[in-house]
Amino acid sequence: MFKLLNKCGGSGARLAEMTTLHGTVPTPIFLPVGSQATVRSLTTSDLDEIGVRMVLCNAYHLYLRPGIDVIKKAGGLHRFMRWGGPILTDSGGYQVFSLSSFRKLTDGGVVFRSHIDGSEHSITPESAVSMQEVLGADIIMALDVCPGSGDAREKQERAMESTFRWAKRCRSAHRDNGQHLFGIIQGGIYPELRRAAAEQITSLDFPGYAIGGLSLGEPKTQMWEMVETTVQYMPADRPRYLMGVGSPEDIVEGISRGIDIFDSALPTRVARNGALYTSEGRKNIRRSAYREDMEPVEAGCRCFACRNYSAAYLHHLFKCEELLAYRLATIHNLFFMQKLIEQARNAIAEGVFPEFKKGFLESYKTTDEERRIEQKMAALRGKKSGDFT
């Protein structure tokens, strides 16, 4: 499923192709998050025009609403949401452990209460695989235990061991139906646990591997240290997926460390709050400075919003809380992310990725680290109340 095409000297950046049931996609690749079988405010035609090649949906949320049986009756997730490209589904391990007001680990799996109505449910490794098989996603994820990055070592170690046991059961339950089942590596912020977890999970010979349990409020220096530690013990001939990481600067940093797949709700979430990506950093389109700005949000951007509307118009829409504001801002941010990924792939192909990275990070003004952590924790609190995309 994974064909390595080129590696860029001076960094870990690599160019590859990933073949799935619904097409071959280039990597590195960024997946917009459509937890409820939709990327908020957009149609799948919008995604096509933006250049999105693959999306992420969430089995936990689809299990609760509308129900796996409804999607099965529709002919699978692709037909249900009218998306012809590849889909990756998360098993819901993170949501079970972050959203629920009640959860209990058992030998069989996890018992939890729905964040919607408080009803009790149970998910096992076997049922997590079965649900995703019914959904028909191209890449499906093993059920894991995802503790907080700041949790004590003992809790991280228990989570790692449970994740390994569950991964073995997921591997045994998975049918050879063309879907690709990925294992997830945990271990928190402890290098020795990351190494042990990577060695455990890769011993099961999954077709791809994910790094989980990061970007949960820890400093970025610590996050990248864990990524670098983990990648050392991941096979070079399999795709590497860094879960839940997707700010522009993190995409570039992750690619330089050999990551192939990224996903995050960040670009769409901040878009709905009026934060628009540009080559120089975020613009807060709600600011009064844009009230009479008749230029597009970013000169030269070819997204639908910038081709057709001024910054002043988007400012007006946000101030009036018009629904079109969220659609146009989301289109712009996802277009920016796709363009960034495309530029990174071209730089790898041409052997100049280190220069590309340096140039991008010099011009892109990142969010202050303290402010970033505050925003991340606010987003996590929002997820606990059900605002997950």
Catalytic residues: 90, 263
DSSP assignment letter at 6: E
CB 240 within 8 A of CB 201: no
Element (DSSP H or E) covering residue 103:
strand 103-105
Q: What is the DSSP string of 281-315?
A: EEEETTSGGGTT--S-SSTT--SHHHHH--HHHHH
CB 312 within 8 A of CB 288: no
CB within 8 A of 181, min separation 6: which ones?
129, 139, 140, 141, 142, 170, 171, 174, 206, 207
- The token pair that represents 257 in the structure block: 């460390």
264-268, long-range: CB < 8 A, 24+ apart: 264/30, 264/33, 265/33, 265/35, 265/379, 265/388, 265/389, 266/379, 267/32, 267/330, 267/333, 267/334, 267/336, 267/337, 268/32, 268/33, 268/39, 268/40, 268/41, 268/330, 268/333, 268/334, 268/389
Query: What would you measure as the largest C-alpha separation in the chain, in angstroms?
Result: 61
Amino acid at 353: F
CB 337 within 8 A of CB 30: yes
CB 184 within 8 A of CB 210: yes
CA dist 91 and 169 (Å) reads 14
Query: Within the chain, how many helices (H) and strands (E) appear?
Result: 16, 16
